[in-house]
Amino acid sequence: MGAQVCLMRGFELRVDARPVLVSQNAQRVLAFLALRDRPQRRTTVASALWTDSTEDRAAANLRTALWKLSDLRDRLVRSAGTYLSLCPDVDVDLSRLMQRTRRLQDPALDDGTGDAVVPADVAADVGELSADLLPDWDEDWLVFERERLRQYRIHALETLCRRLVRSGRFGDAVDAGLSAVESEPLRESAQRVLIEAHLAEGNVSEARRQFDRYRTMLWDDMGLLPTVPLWTLVGVLRPE
């Protein structure tokens, strides 16, 4: 056992498998450090978390947030001079999720014969890849991290959908494709893998229905039509 910082679907701190309540500012400090791959200067952390405060006030807020962690501070945060980081043994669910997305896209999962090796627990993969990063938080420093995660998630879901199709697991493939589309409805590559999954299963009507939904949504939102290859995929001529 140990300490775990959970960022997906909302913040949670667990120590020795038990939930622990900490102040909102302490949560923000832990989340900020969890999202960084390397130690951060105290001034960087303070200025990012308290953008409307003076440098001195922001530094004081950071000291207070760390003090409020009390006995947990040394188990969670490593302080080395002017730098702060999470302790190396603190588990972060986002880090595990990023490892999962990279694993799903690993070319080594192709066995060289045209078949694809897929994870044993596909439902867990799809479920984790569908989660949002601190969805109830409104923080400027989260914008880039959310976009980076969104791109990783969608690429991983698209890859997983294709692998499942090649493995003949069409129901799971459709589930992964639907999750990719839900993450970014206007993304054609996500729509394509879902339509391909329907077609691979022999459900032409479902494929056409999904295409029609996408075509209508894309036109209504952006005044655009799907690309020619997508029209060709469903056997429809693109209007001039």
SS3 3: strand
- Find tokens 């032409």 and name the residue: 204
- Collapsing DSSP to helix, strand or coil, 98 comes out as helix
pLDDT-wise least confident of 69-83, 98-112, 162-176, 193-207: 98-112
Read off the tokens for 129. Answer: 């890849």
194-222 pLDDT, tens digit each: 999 999 999 999 999 999 999 999 999 99
pLDDT at 112 over 50: no
Q: Is the pLDDT of residue 120 over 60?
A: no
Residue entry with tokens 């409020």: 68
How is residue 221 written in tokens? 């939102």
User: Rounded to whole angstroms, how far apart are CA atoms 231 and 240?
Assistant: 12
Q: What is the pLDDT of residue 124?
A: 64
Question: By the 8 A CB rule, do 36 and 85 touch?
Answer: yes
pLDDT at 184: 94
Angle among Cα 136, 137, 139 to the nearest 5 degrees reads 155
Q: How confident is the model at residue 236 (pLDDT cuts 50, 70, 90)?
A: confident
Token pair listed for 157? 């879901």
Within 10 angstroms of residue 57's Cβ, the number of other Cβ atoms is: 12
Torsion of the alpha carbons at 109, 110, 115 and 117, rounded to the nearest 10: 0
Question: What is the pTM (predicted TM-score) of this model?
Answer: 0.84
The confidence band for 31, taking pLDDT boundaries of 50, 70 and 90, is very high
pLDDT at 113: 46
* pLDDT at site 1: 66
Structural domains present in the chain: 3-89 (1.10.10.10), 95-233 (1.25.40.10)
